[in-house]
Amino acid sequence: MTHVDFMQVALEEARLAFEEGEVPVGAVIVRDGRIIARAHNTRERDKNALCHAEVTVIDAACRILGGWRLVGCSLYVTLEPCPMCAGAILNAQLKDVYVGASDEKMGAFGGLLDVRGKGLFRSSVTFGILEEESRALMQRFFQKLRDKREEKKEDSL
């Protein structure tokens, strides 16, 4: 499988999040060319601020592999990770991170801030894999939210 194939699986997870009314972010962890774990955002469903796709997929991979170090593993995620998720990536010691779309509002790899410049962060980060698809899904989600708010506003008049 290629980087695009793995990101397609992450996008499938993001679409599941979209269908569930969650911010559409999906993630997969890969080792030796095989998907170890996959997840998507479930904050609304689980009523838990920690249930970002990246944290959930790291947790699943740790359980599957039997340890907290994910050395030799790569993360594919449809949206640039936030600071919390960047910390989880750092602690899990992931080798590579592949990102679909950047996130100027919350991203920790150059969007809002950049955690890579302090010498602690050793994972390589590559942007732009299926960026247009990732961004389009995110835009569709937020447009749907805005439309719902407008409908509610009109109904209350």
Please state, as a whole number, how many other Cβ atoms lie within 10 Å of the Cβ of residue 156: 6
Compute the radius of gyration of the chain from its Cα atoms.
Answer: 16
Provide the sign of the torsion angle of the four alpha carbons 108, 111, 116, 118, taken in this order: negative
Give catalytic status of residue 54 as yes or no. yes
Q: Is 124 helix (H, G, I), strand (E, B) or coil?
A: strand
Please state, as a whole number, how many other Cβ atoms lie within 10 Å of the Cβ of residue 35: 17
Q: How far apart are alpha carbons 82 and 43 in whole angstroms?
A: 14
Q: What's the DSSP call for residue 111? A: T
Contact in structure between 22 and 51 (CB atoms under 8 Å): no
Q: Is 86 helix (H, G, I), strand (E, B) or coil?
A: helix
Nearest to residue 91, comparing CAs of 66, 64, 67?
Answer: 67
Which of the residues 54, 80, 104, 132 is marked catalytic? 54
Catalytic machinery residues: 54
